[in-house]
Amino acid sequence: MTTKSATNGDHQQFSHGISLGEATRTWAKIAALSFGGPAGQIAVMHRLLVEEKRWIGEERFLHALNYCMLLPGPEAQQLAIYIGWLLHRTKGGLIAGTLFVLPGFLAILALSYVYVLLGHVPLVEGLFFGLKAAVLAVVVQAVVRVGSRALKNGSMRMIAAIAFVAIFFLGAPFPLIILAAGIAGYAGGRLGLRAFQGGASHGQAGGTIVHDRDTALGEQLPAHARPKPGWSIRMALTLLILWLAPVLALYLILGPDDVFTRIAGFFSQMAVVTFGGAYAVLAYVAQEAVGTFGWLRPGEMLDGLGMAETTPGPLIMVTQFVGFLAAFRDAGTLNPLAAATLGAILTTWVTFVPCFLWIFAGAPFIERMRGNRALSAALTAITAAVVGVILNLALWFAIHTLFREVKRVATVDLPVLASVNPPALLLSAAALVAVLRFKAGILTVLGTCAAAGAAYMLL
């Protein structure tokens, strides 16, 4: 279904008939509809790009998704960058990836202003009280969903259990857990062990499969998508400079102890080591931002996640709220709101620029990865470990949501049982029943709990 335009060099492309303007409008629509975490966002992209518009086929979509799941960072945004690049080269990838983040950034920035300026108004306190209960239910639902898909045998369940014990009881660093799981999975794949042979399909259950040959892009690989080491090196160097130059400048100008330097350094590190999706990342961010840096309190981490759940874009946008509060509370000579805004922008920049780097540098070479059993096995083991990490996050959220007092014993936060919060317990239980028993939508649960929390505070 595709023909090739007769240009030369890097400008050779397929005339698939999809204008950049039409693609931009479609990416804006996807961004506006991208609620519900990575699963919902990927489903929206699949429905629009594969099923409705038939720009790409099922095989190409899943191959791109599998690659993105091997990368650190938000796989849904990386998938958008990948497909945007596949359709319209570098410009298409930049547009798709930027639009995927922009609505959520603006929405969370506005909510952050409300939070710091009006957070002690009973109505606003009630809204966030209700959101905490709903977020706890959503995280438990994520444990169930990911676990049912990933823990298919005893070996995977053992990896999940070890990951949970390591992070919850031993305080092991999240990156180390993921690295160990990846190495174990890679070794299992190389040895041909059946327990490590993946994996969950990301395809849609039922329905007609849209094959690559029946789409606008077709089966052939566009000329710009073929590996060109020179282009990849240029793009990698450009993006590395855009990403790390601000970090180095802050370090040299403000010093290592300044809040902006710490924000840039921490979230740059996070962009490299955070595999396994948003909920796994949040466990790592909460552990460091709350426990190590003291940028915010545990309940505020839940408030930020509530913001990210109720706005479009990746759930990892919650990091923007963390950077906002960190700079707001350590503004130095700056106006606190101005410092907070700069903190939010800096956090978003160092979190998402690396996503473009991973795609533009690696995507042209992924055809060589197709069918690589060892890499697939590594992903399978990492996904199992992520279940244990998300379980840790769910337990951490539950302790800080349902109890008013928490005590630290060794490396573990334990609740003071006498400090249980009955309204929070009741609302969280209702939210859990709604999502697990009645399969209520995330936005419905979030909205209902927020309204209930507001009513409780006002009464």
Q: What is the pLDDT of residue 377?
A: 83
Asked if the model's pLDDT at residue 18 lies above 90, the reply is no
**Tell me, what's the pLDDT at 34?**
75
Considering the chain, what percentage of its residues have pLDDT values greater than 90?
34
* 302-340 per-position pLDDT tens digit: 788 778 877 888 888 889 999 999 999 999 999 999 999
Note the pLDDT of residue 399. Answer: 87
Query: Which stretch of 172-186, 310-324, 367-381 has the lowest confidence by average pLDDT?
Result: 367-381
CA dist list (Å): 47 to 32, 99, 159, 202? 14, 18, 33, 13
Q: How confident is the model at residue 152 (pLDDT cuts 50, 70, 90)?
A: confident
Average confidence score pLDDT of the chain: 83
User: What is the number of residues in the chain?
Assistant: 459
Instruction: Tell me the pLDDT tens digit for each residue of 385-441.
Output: 878 887 887 887 788 889 988 887 877 878 999 999 999 999 999 999 998 899 887
- The pLDDT score that the predictor gives to residue 263 is 96
Q: Which residue has the higher pLDDT, 239 or 15?
A: 239
Which tens digit of pLDDT belongs to each residue from 208-245?
677 777 787 777 777 767 767 888 889 999 999 999 99
Q: Which of 364, 284, 351 is nearest to 324 (CA)?
A: 351
Using pLDDT thresholds of 50, 70 and 90, give the confidence band for residue 248.
Answer: very high
pLDDT value at position 208? 65
- Is the pLDDT assigned to residue 205 strictly greater than 70? no
**Between these two residues, 36 and 423, which has the higher pLDDT value?**
423
On whether the pTM is more than 0.85, the answer is no
What does the pLDDT read at residue 369?
A: 63
pLDDT at 312: 81
Please report the pLDDT score of residue 5 as a whole number: 42
pLDDT cut 70: percent of the chain above it: 89
> What per-residue confidence (pLDDT) applies to 120?
66
Least confident of 66-70, 159-163, 166-170: 66-70
Asked if pLDDT for residue 167 goes beyond 50, the answer is: yes
Instruction: Pick 106 or 67 by higher pLDDT.
Output: 106
Instruction: Please name every residue paired with 413 in a beta bridge, in sequence order, or none if there are none.
Output: 408
3-class secondary structure for the chain?
Answer: CCEECCCCHHHCCEECCCCHHHHHHHHHHHHHHCCCHHHHHHHHHHHHHHHHCCCCCHHHHHHHHHHHHCCCCCHHHHHHHHHHHHHHHHHHHHHHHHHHHHHHHHHHHHHHHHHHHHCCCHHHHHHHHHHHHHHHHHHHHHHHHHHHHHCCCHHHHHHHHHHHHHHHCCCCCHHHHHHHHHHHHHHHHHHCCHHHCCCCCCCCCCCCCCCHHHCCCCCCCCHHHCCCHHHHHHHHHHHHHHHHHHHHHHHHHHCCCCHHHHHHHHHHHHHHHCCCCHHHHHHHHHHHHHHHCCCCCHHHHHHHHHHHHHCCCCHHHHHHHHHHHHHHHCCCCCCHHHHHHHHHHHHHHHHHHHHHHHHHHHHHHHHHHCCCHHHHHHHHHHHHHHHHHHHHHHHHHHHHHHECCEEEECCEEEECHHHECHHHHHHHHHHHHHHHCCCCCHHHHHHHHHHHHHHHHHC
**Per-residue model confidence (pLDDT) at position 7:** 40
Per-residue model confidence as pLDDT tens digits over 256-302: 999 999 999 999 998 887 766 666 677 778 888 988 899 988 778 87
